[in-house]
Structure 1
Amino acid sequence: LTVDPAIEAELVAQLATWREERSSADVEAAIAELKRAAIDGDNLMPPSIQLAKVGGTTGEWGAVMREVFGEYRAPTGVSGAIGSSAGLADVVEFVKSMAGGPPKFLVAKPGLDGHSNGAEQIAVAARDSGMEVVYSGIRLTPEQIAASARDEDPDVIGLSILSGSHLDLVPDVLHHLKEMEVDAPVIVGGIIPEADRARLAGIGIAAIYTPKDYQIAKIMREVAELAATHRNP
């Protein structure tokens, strides 16, 4: 899926027009009442309906809910995951032989994509290959990913994107990595159309993986070799 930028711009313009034509005072009053009801534990349906009637958006409604109740983040990660070392023996030996100790592999999911299975399978396989893995979960901003890379100093950064927004998110991540002076190679995995592979490679992506690249041991070997090259260019 590739979204036409013109369609995105049109929808953003429509939202801006919608906000200009509604009564800001009515929206602010409805948001205030919704927040009060949430804090007091009252029924949220009446103020939610009122907010919708005066032109409030789901984003504004959600912002109130997050402010009052916090944001739920489902448990994700690799520490307690049970993996399989099948086929990874050669990678394990290669990782053990690397000068400077095991490579650090930062796995991240930018944007609103919540499908974490693929990223976590890769992260677990990297862990079972002897790498040090940094995985912060889903729905991260490009700025958060870059900041994590700056602080963790990984040998390789892996981005998992299945939302179709790779042509927007990947350049944004690279921009922030450059701003924070992170020079680790970046690889991308997800639903990447063939037509987009050259564009991603052209902006500096070191490797691209799609669902047809299902040989985990091969991917792990390539990640380890990429880390070794980064350490000793």
Structure 2
Amino acid sequence: MSTQDHEERTIRCLVAKVGLDGHDRGAHVIARAFRDAGFEVIYSGLHKSPDEIVQAAVQEDVDVLGISILSGAHNTLVPKIVAGLEEYDAFEDTLIIVGGIVPEDDRPGLREAGVDAIFGPGASMAETIDFIRENVPER
């Protein structure tokens, strides 16, 4: 098959709401922006456990896991998700981004835990989409 015959693969994203955080407007906005950018988007729904998010990411074979969190529990919940992806050997193949309210002091720890990028209030949709396109793992 020549390169011309091979269509570019569609980027698959899971937009996930973890824990007790019930504020999902931002997750819906980003999911819509991702769809408009041509990504295939799966939305987890509200109040998912870290394990439910890991299961969905693995079963849906996503390229990108976008975790939306506003509850302040990011230091507890996000590392559990990363550890779950590692257990299923899905960590290396998944770009992990976090969106929401994450204080600057907490960001280095999340990056050390395996988060590829954190987008807070004021981050543009274009910036987020460009980051994904430039950093999505090759398969």
Corresponding residue to 1:203 among 96, 113, 118: 113
Task: Confirm or deny: 8 A CA contact 1:197 1:208 kept in the other structure.
Answer: yes
Partner of 2:25: 117
CA RMSD, Structure 1 to Structure 2 (Å): 1.5
8 A Cα contact 1:150 1:181, kept in partner: no
Identity of aligned residues (%): 43
Say which SS state the counterpart of residue 89 (structure 2) adopts.
Answer: coil
- Answer yes or no: is 1:149 the counterpart of 2:20: no
Report the CA distance between 1:186 and its aligned residue. Answer: 0.7
Counterpart in the other structure of 2:47: 139
Q: Secondary structure at the match of 2:34?
A: helix
- How many residue pairs match? The answer is 132
- Letter of the 2:138 counterpart: R
1:1-233 mapped onto 2 (5 Å cutoff): 100-183=8-91, 184-213=94-123, 215-227=124-136, 230-231=137-138
**What is aligned with 1:50?**
none
Deviations 1:52-94 (A, max 9, x none): xxxxxxxxxxxxxxxxxxxxxxxxxxxxxxxxxxxxxxxxxxx
Distance of 2:8 and 2:38 partners within structure 1: 13
Q: Distance in 2 between matches of 1:195 and 1:212?
A: 18
Structure 1: gaps of 5 or more residues? 1-97
Alpha-carbon distance in 1 for matches of 2:37, 2:101: 25
Cα offset for 1:117? 0.6
Shift of 1:225: 1.9
Q: What is residue 24 of structure 1 aligned with on the other side?
A: none
- The structural deviation recorded for 1:169 is 0.4
* Aligned-pair CA distance for 1:100: 4.1
TM-score (norm 1): 0.54
Residue type of the partner of 1:143?
D
Q: Which one-letter code corresponds to 2:21 in the other structure?
A: D
TM-score (normalised: structure 2): 0.89
Say which structure is richer in strand: 2
Counterpart Cα distance in 2 of 1:202 and 1:193: 15
Give runs of ≥4 in structure 1 deviating > 2 Å. Answer: none
Q: Which has the higher relative contact order, 1 or 2, with Cα contacts under 8 A spaced 6 or more apart?
A: 2
Structure 1: distance between partners of 2:20 and 2:70: 10
Check 1:192–1:217 CA distance in 2 against 1; reply closer, same or farther (3 A cut). Answer: same
